[in-house]
């Protein structure tokens, strides 16, 4: 580490302590570096607007930042232990290239608002990606729901056969879930869409920084006004984003559970495309649904990341270096969650039902509820109809499709209300 921004005469640097302080920060900051560069440019533009930088100095800073950004994108500049963190790297490059002009960039800002703004821009992009993935999942599920609403399958409660249902009804559940998850992503995005840049170390600064204009240039919806709250929001907003990813992954966990059951020999409802299936190292006969199981497990690192940040946030107000420990979990949790979700649309599209197994799993008892309701409709009090319909002598192999068509309560297979779900999907897709 050659460049410590805060190094002063007479302060001895201990390499071992510095390594501990830096941790994996330089590596993690690679995630945020391009966002930090973007925010640095807008901070410099703000300094030019209030006369701290001349127009010419701003142009030179802008030029170096653009080149650095291109170098980072192309892999020509890699953040490493030469720097304490990404913030130091940007300033070091500016000073190296521009001398005193570079030495002006940090006027009126702190690494405390610098890390906040870079992380926040990163989070906003990840929430956009989350929304898009949820939209893709919802679209596949909704199309299949529309196609398959009258394809019978057993409906279970307590994992016991209950009533005739349909594969379309199964899909419709996931479709609406992912529409909701997409909305959750957008609402979370709106909630955290606040610019912390210009709050400096958490107490503001004795300069009339054009914070509103800087925030607009960075694409933020609003300015985070209180410098104290900007600091309080570190970790809190990361948790909110992880919760949004987690909401989707929680549905994925249950979907994957269904599929792991449905692909067993005992159920045999689903044929998994070979590319999602692995073999066993010892049992030549095995075909294992590992991809589904890892999807099921994917909620765990997301929830764990949220919990890790929650633990870090046991702090008084203001900046504390502890907050650096929010970066690892947020990157790991969100990247893992998005990678899992990215597999899902294609997996859902390629699932094939084994219709003969679905049919074979339907049994006469599964029409008992239809029968009880039919009797009640004829005027028999429901509790009496229930007793009559419980008699196995009254059960007969029924007409599964007829049962589905007759299920006309809105949202059920006879009146599935998919148009309303599609309208919400279209509204969140754009």
Contact residues: ligand ARG, CB under 6 A: 25, 85, 111-112, 115, 319, 321, 323-324, 327
* Cα gap 368→164, rounded to integer Å: 10
Nearer to ligand ARG, 280 or 311 (CB): 311
- Strand, helix or coil for residue 160: strand
Q: How far is the CB of 235 from ligand ARG (least distance, A)?
A: 10
Q: How far is the CB of 242 from ligand ARG (least distance, A)?
A: 17
Q: How far is the CB of 67 from ligand ARG (least distance, A)?
A: 24
> Could you give the dihedral angle defined by the CA atoms of residues 8, 12, 14 and 18, in that order, rounded to the nearest 10 degrees?
-20
Beta-sheet pairing, 194-195 with 222-223 = parallel
Q: How far is the CB of 197 from ligand ARG (least distance, A)?
A: 14
Q: How far is the CB of 154 from ligand ARG (least distance, A)?
A: 52
> Could you give the dihedral angle defined by the CA atoms of residues 38, 39, 45 and 48, in that order, rounded to the nearest 10 degrees?
-130
Nearer to ligand ARG, 199 or 324 (CB): 324
Told to judge if 88 belongs to the known catalytic residues of this protein, a careful annotator would answer no
* Cα gap 313→420, rounded to integer Å: 41
Q: Report the candidate in 72, 175, 200 with the shortest Cα–Cα distance to residue 420.
A: 175
> Looking up tokens 């950004």, which residue turns up?
69
- Burial class of residue 377 (count of CB atoms within 10 Å of its CB; 0-12, 13-18, 19+): exposed
* Cα gap 187→203, rounded to integer Å: 29
* Cα gap 296→43, rounded to integer Å: 43
The contacts of residue 46 (CB under 8 Å, 6+ apart) are 198, 209, 210, 211, 213, 214
For residue 213, the surrounding DSSP H or E stretch is: helix 211-217
Residue 13's φ and ψ, nearest 5 degrees, are -100, 125
- Strand, helix or coil for residue 228: helix
Nearer to ligand ARG, 60 or 236 (CB): 236
Q: Which is catalytic among the residues 2, 40, 54, 158?
A: 158
Listed as own residue / partner, the contacts of 66-72 with beta carbons closer than 8 Å and 24 or more positions apart are 66/41, 68/37, 68/93, 69/34, 69/37, 69/38, 72/33, 72/34, 72/37
Q: How far is the CB of 49 from ligand ARG (least distance, A)?
A: 25
**Within 10 A of 347 (CB to CB), how many other CB atoms are there?**
20
Nearer to ligand ARG, 101 or 324 (CB): 324
Two tokens, residue 360:
């074979």
Nearer to ligand ARG, 43 or 144 (CB): 43
Nearer to ligand ARG, 331 or 362 (CB): 331
Nearer to ligand ARG, 171 or 319 (CB): 319
Q: Report the candidate in 72, 110, 69 with the shortest Cα–Cα distance to residue 88.
A: 110
Nearer to ligand ARG, 52 or 201 (CB): 201
* Cα gap 17→68, rounded to integer Å: 29
Q: Which is catalytic among the residues 2, 106, 166, 280?
A: 280
In total, the chain counts a number of residues equal to 430
Told to judge if 158 belongs to the known catalytic residues of this protein, a careful annotator would answer yes
- Residues serving a catalytic function are 158, 280
């Amino acid at each position: 580490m050659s460049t410590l921004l805060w190094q002063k005469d007479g302060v001895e640097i201990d390499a071992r302590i510095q390594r501990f302080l830096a941790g994996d920060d330089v590596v993690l900051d690679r995630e945020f570096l391009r966002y930090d560069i973007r925010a640095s440019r807008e901070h410099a533009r703000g300094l030019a607007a209030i006369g701290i930088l001349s127009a010419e100095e701003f142009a030179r800073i802008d030029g170096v930042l653009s080149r650095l950004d291109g170098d980072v994108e192309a892999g020509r500049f890699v953040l490493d232990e030469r720097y304490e963190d990404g913030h130091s790297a940007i300033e070091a490059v500016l000073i190296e290239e521009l001398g005193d002009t570079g030495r002006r960039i940090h006027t009126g800002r702190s690494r405390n608002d610098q890390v906040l703004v870079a992380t926040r821009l990163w989070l906003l992009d990840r929430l956009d990606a989350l929304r898009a993935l949820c939209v893709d999942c919802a679209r596949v599920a909704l199309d299949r729901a529309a196609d398959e609403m009258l394809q019978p399958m057993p409906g279970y409660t307590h994992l016991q056969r209950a009533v005739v249902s349909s594969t379309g009804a199964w899909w419709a559940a996931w479709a609406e879930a992912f529409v909701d998850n997409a909305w959750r992503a957008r609402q979370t995005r709106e909630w955290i869409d606040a610019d912390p840049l210009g709050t400096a170390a958490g107490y503001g600064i004795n300069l009339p920084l054009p914070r509103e204009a800087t925030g607009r240039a960075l694409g933020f919806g609003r300015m985070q006004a209180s410098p104290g709250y900007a600091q309080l929001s570190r970790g809190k907003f990361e948790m909110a984003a992880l919760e949004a990813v987690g909401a989707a992954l929680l549905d994925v966990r249950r979907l994957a559970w269904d599929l792991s059951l449905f692909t067993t020999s005992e159920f045999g409802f689903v044929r998994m495309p070979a590319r999602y299936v692995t073999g066993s190292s010892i049992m030549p006969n095995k075909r294992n649904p590992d991809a589904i199981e890892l999807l099921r497990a994917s909620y765990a690192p997301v929830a764990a990341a949220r919990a890790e940040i929650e633990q870090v946030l046991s702090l008084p107000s203001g900046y504390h270096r502890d907050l650096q420990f929010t970066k690892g979990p947020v990157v790991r949790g969100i990247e893992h969650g998005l990678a899992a979700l990215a597999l899902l649309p294609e997996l859902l599209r390629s699932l094939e039902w084994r219709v003969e197994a679905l049919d074979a799993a339907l049994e006469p008892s599964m029409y008992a509820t239809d029968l009880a309701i039919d009797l009640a409709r004829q005027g028999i009090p429901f509790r009496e109809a229930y007793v009559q319909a419980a008699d196995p002598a009254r059960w007969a192999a029924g007409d599964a499709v007829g049962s589905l068509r007759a299920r006309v309560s809105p949202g059920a297979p006879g009146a599935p209300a998919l148009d309303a779900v599609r309208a919400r999907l279209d509204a969140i897709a754009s």
